[in-house]
Structure 1
Amino acid sequence: MPLLRIQLDSDRNTARRVLELHQAGKVHHETRDAARDEVWRRGRTPAAEPVFIGTTNGEPVRLLYDVEVYLDTTR
């Protein structure tokens, strides 16, 4: 399945919290849901849950998620 990289604008505190949860094996539900919603906005259908892969160092901080999508299905 192809992956779609999603970047979500965030603030440093939220990014730190998401990273801490990820390292503890937990999920930050609000940002995961926002990544899934962004996939739908781009006209793709998610094939799996978004996977947190890290943050950017710029301003604003961005949360990076990879989401598997179906090739032939769009909304």
Structure 2
Amino acid sequence: MPLLRIQLDTDRNTARRVVDLHRRGGTHPESRAAAEAEVWRKGHTPAAAPIFVGITNGEPVRLIYDVEVYPAVTR
């Protein structure tokens, strides 16, 4: 299945909290839901839960998620 990379704008405090949760084996439900919503907004259907990849190092800080999507069907 193809992967769609999603970047979500956030603030540094939230980014640190998400990274800390991920390192402890947890998840950040709000950002995962936002990543899934972004996939739908782009016209794709998620095939699995978003996977946290990391954060950007610039301004604005962004959370990075990879989301497995169903391939597009063409006729």
Could you state the TM-score of these two structures normalised by the residue count of structure 2? 0.95
1:72 shift after superposition: 2.8
Query: Which residue identity does 1:50 align to in structure 2?
Result: P
For 1:16 and 1:59, the matched residues in 2 are separated by 14
Aligned length: 73
Runs of 4+ in structure 1 off by over 2 angstroms are none
Identity %: 70
Query: Which residue identity does 1:28 align to in structure 2?
Result: H
2:12 corresponds to: 12
Query: Which residue identity does 1:58 align to in structure 2?
Result: G
Which is greater in Rg?
2
1:69 shift after superposition: 0.1
Superposition pairs of residues 39-54 of structure 1, within 5 angstroms: 39-54=39-54
For 2:39 and 2:59, the matched residues in 1 are separated by 23
The answer for unaligned runs of 5 or more in structure 2 is: none
- The CA RMSD measured in Å over matched residues stands at 0.8
1:34 shift after superposition: 0.1
